Amino acid sequence: MDKVLVTGGAGYIGSHACKTVRAAGFEPVTYDNLSTGWEEAVKFGPFEKGDLLDRKRLDEVFASHAPVAVMHFAALSQVGESMKKPGLYWQNNVEGSRNLIEAACDAGCMNFVFSSTCATYGDQDNVVLDENSVQLPINAYGASKRAIEDMLRDYGAAFGLRHVIFRYFNVAGADPEAEVGEFHQPETHLIPLMLDAIEGKREALTIFGTDYETPDGTCIRDYVHVCDLVDAHILGLTWLMDGKQSRVFNLGTGSGFSVREVIDHSRAVTNRAVPYKEGPRRPGDCTKLVSGSTRAVSELGWNPQRSTLDRMIADAWRWHQTGHYDK
Ligand code: UFG
């Protein structure tokens, strides 16, 4: 069975990717330092504990598994943290990715699928973003991901590393079978925080900012079901294995929901009250991030059928009630 090296395979999106990679007939080899991931989430293939900053360890893993491709999820990904500690993001994300990309090139593993983000676009005044929109990140997280995109282009030109870059919008939901799901420690994401608040596991949710220029004053995001998102990665892997050219794809649905709308849907789906209060803006937040997915749909044949807000909340709720790794 051909192997795929999945960095960050113990994390939220990476663990869902491993399940899908396995179902697609490849063996996912997880490379993860467990700084934000969970060993219990590595269920679908071998685990190699290691850090992206450890080049020697990366070389060993490439030598022992000879993967046909890399899926690179491992990264620090909190917008708020990146504003306070930008150095962490430049070291872990940018320098770590440089190590990984060089190790892949040296090992002759020339198919690379990269998790980038709509945070690379920055705040663009209520436009629907496409892959050609200008990239002007307003936080260090987005800047670090944009730098890695540039790096991939440079290594592609110099050494023939072929890559698919996926710019994610807001990933939500969980495996419908609840084998894996979203669990960050600390948690900063809207939907899991809200589900915790509903269950009384933490205090009321704070809405970060109610004075944005949106219809109800709260930020708007484009939410994508994690299983739809990882399906796109298999299509990206196939794209590269078929010898096609390097390409960037946005993964969004074209529909945005405000924080207040997410709260309303959560109340309806869970049939429980959502305790919340209104607070100030969080530094680094964009007003609205919504994508078209025309390119992924037309070129990759992506079909994101699970990405309705109610379905994402329902799957996250099921996981929330059954599957935490710390139970
Ligand atoms: N929000 C709140 N209260 C909270 C948490 C979040 O009001 O307690 C709001 C945020 O201000 C934002 C929305 O809910 O408007 C979503 O926030 P998340 O923290 O869930 O997600 P972000 O949009 O900040 O970031 C996520 C990922 C990033 C990715 C980005 C793209 O964490 O990696 O989506 O939008 F880049």
- State the Cα–Cα distance between residues 133 and 305, nearest whole angstrom: 25
pLDDT at residue number 215:
97
- What pLDDT, on the 0 to 100 scale, is given for residue 326? 61
- The torsion angles phi and psi of 254, rounded to 5 degrees, stand at 90, -5
Distance of CA 212 to CAs 63, 139, 215, Å?
Answer: 51, 18, 9
Ligand 1, atom 18: closest residue by C-alpha: 189
Q: What is the pLDDT of residues 146-183, one digit of tens each?
A: 999 999 999 999 999 999 999 999 999 999 999 999 99
Ligand 1, atom nearest to 118 Cα: 31
**Arch. (CATH architecture) of 190-221+254-322:** Alpha-Beta Complex (3.90)
Going residue by residue through the chain, which has 327 residues, state the pLDDT in tens, using 9 for 90 and above: 999 999 999 999 999 999 999 999 999 999 999 999 999 999 999 999 999 999 999 999 999 999 999 999 999 999 889 999 999 999 999 999 999 999 999 999 999 999 999 999 988 766 788 999 999 999 999 999 999 999 999 999 999 999 999 999 999 999 999 999 999 988 999 999 999 999 999 899 999 999 999 999 999 999 999 999 999 999 999 999 999 999 999 999 999 999 999 999 999 999 999 999 999 999 888 899 898 768 999 999 999 999 999 999 999 999 998 867 764
Helix (H) or strand (E) holding 279: strand 276-279
The reply to whether 141 belongs to the active site is: yes
Q: Where in the chain is the domain with CATH 3.40.50.720?
A: 3-172+223-251
As a whole number of angstroms, the distance between CA 5 and CA 66 comes to 9
- For ligand 1, say whether the CB of 79 is within 6 Å of any of its atoms: yes
188 lines ligand 1 (CB under 6 A): yes
Alpha-carbon distances, residue 252 vs 130, 203, 221, 290 (angstroms): 10, 30, 10, 7
Q: Is the CB of 219 under 6 A from ligand 1?
A: yes
Mutational test site, ligand 1, from 221, 260, 286, 289, max ligand atoms within 8 Å of CB: 221
Shortest-distance Cα residue to atom 26 of ligand 1: 170
> Cα(98) to centroid of ligand 1, in Å?
27
221 lines ligand 1 (CB under 6 A): yes
Q: What is the DSSP string of 73-134?
A: ------HHHHHH-HHHHIIIIIIHHHHHHHHHHHHT--EEEEEEEGGGT---TTPEE-TTS-
Lookup result for tokens 């990146």: 82
The whole-number pLDDT of residue 47 equals 98
Measured CA to CA, the distance from residue 283 to residue 297 in angstroms comes to 33
Centroid of ligand 1 to alpha carbon of 189 (angstroms): 6
Cβ proximity of 165 and 116 under 8 Å = yes
Ranges of CATH 3.90.25.10 domains, the chain: 190-221+254-322
* Ligand 1 atom at shortest distance from the alpha carbon of 282: 11
DSSP string, 306-318: T--HHHHHHHHHH
**What amino acid occupies position 117?**
T
What lies within 8 Å, CB to CB, of 247 at 6+ separation is 164, 165, 239, 299
What is the DSSP code (8-state) at residue 150?
Answer: H
Q: What is the pTM of this model?
A: 0.96
Q: Pick the catalytic residue: 121, 141, 155, 223?
A: 141
DSSP 199: T
Contact 51, 33 (CB under 8 A): yes
Torsion of CA 19, 94, 103, 5, to 10 degrees: 0
Report the C-alpha gap between 167 and 117 in whole angstroms.
4
Q: How far is the CA of 9 from the centre of ligand 1 (A)?
A: 22
Cα(146)–Cα(137) distance, integer angstroms: 8
Orientation of helix 259-270 relative to helix 190-198, angle to 10°:
40
Q: What is the pLDDT of residues 283-308, one digit of tens each?
A: 888 899 898 768 999 999 999 999 99
Q: How far is the CA of 272 from the centre of ligand 1 (A)?
A: 22
pLDDT at 285: 86
Select the CATH number that applies to the domain covering 3-172+223-251 from these four: 3.30.9.10, 1.10.760.10, 3.40.50.720, 3.30.450.20.
3.40.50.720
* ipTM score assigned to the predicted complex: 0.95
Nearest-angstrom CA–CA distance, 4 and 67 = 5
